[in-house]
Chain A
Amino acid sequence: DTAVSQTPKYLVTQMGNDKSIKCEQNLGHDTMYWYKQDSKKFLKIMFSYNNKELIINETVPNRFSPKSPDKAHLNLHINSLELGDSAVYFCASSQYGGELFFGEGSRLTVL
């Protein structure tokens, strides 16, 4: 069973569209994260939720809106997609303060 799963794995879309990436973890963790990896492989945290509450919100355009319906899910919705949003987005989960477990990534390509 996959511990942290993201869907879709690949997403190709046009500029200006709205898209969502979903993440689910079955580890019973209380904290979930979204990270962005750009074309140079730099990894930056975007958001973190602990028990469905937003605890980390880095400088991310407000076109990005995370939603955590419950502790096991953290979805990322992106409005008005831009070329610069092309990246691999990684979801992760942890028990607060503990080791992070990462999903396999969702590669977003904006044309």
Chain B
Amino acid sequence: GEDVEQSLFLSVREGDSSVINCTYTDSSSTYLYWYKQEPGAGLQLLTYIFSNMDMKQDQRLTVLLNKKDKHLSLRIADTQTGDSAIYFCAEIAGTASKLTFGTGTRLQVTL
């Protein structure tokens, strides 16, 4: 079955790096995603990684995947106040195109 866990809260200072972690249980995951949700808004896809990759970099974002430990992380370099939001990891596994979300991490950026 699927179970995707994240820590609930992370506070960082502006300019520092943020690392948001996610663990999942379904070893048949094909794609893993990071979504951002700003207050009162919908879900915005930030980036994704295919399960046969171990790293993906996209501007300030770096995704690391440790498939053996079923651990996914999102690093945001030079974190800005506009990065304050809830970040969800999500996985697709199996053939039913079902996206299972993590519990969400609320990122607070302080000055």
Contacts and interface: CB of A to CB of B under 8 A. Distances in A.
A50 B99 contact: no
Contact of B42 (A41, A48, A99, A104): A104
25 contacts: A33-B99, A35-B101, A41-B86, A42-B101, A43-B88, A43-B101, A45-B98, A45-B99, A45-B100, A48-B97, A50-B97, A55-B97, A90-B42, A90-B43, A92-B99, A94-B97, A97-B92, A97-B97, A98-B97, A99-B48, A100-B45, A101-B45, A102-B42, A102-B43, A104-B42
A30 B45 CA distance: 19
Given A90-B43, A104-B42, A56 B96 contact: yes
Contacts, number: 49
Contacts of A66: none
Contact of B98 (A48, A101, A104): A48
A57 B106 CA distance: 29
Given A92-B99, A101-B45, 8 more contacts: A35-B101, A43-B43, A44-B101, A45-B100, A55-B97, A94-B97, A100-B45, A104-B41
A94 B99 CA distance: 11
A97 B48 CA distance: 13
A96 B97 contact: yes
Interface in B28-48: 33, 37, 41-43, 45, 48
Interface residues of A, number: 25
Interface of A is mostly: strand
B97 A31 contact: yes
Interface of B is mostly: strand
A97 B50 CA distance: 12
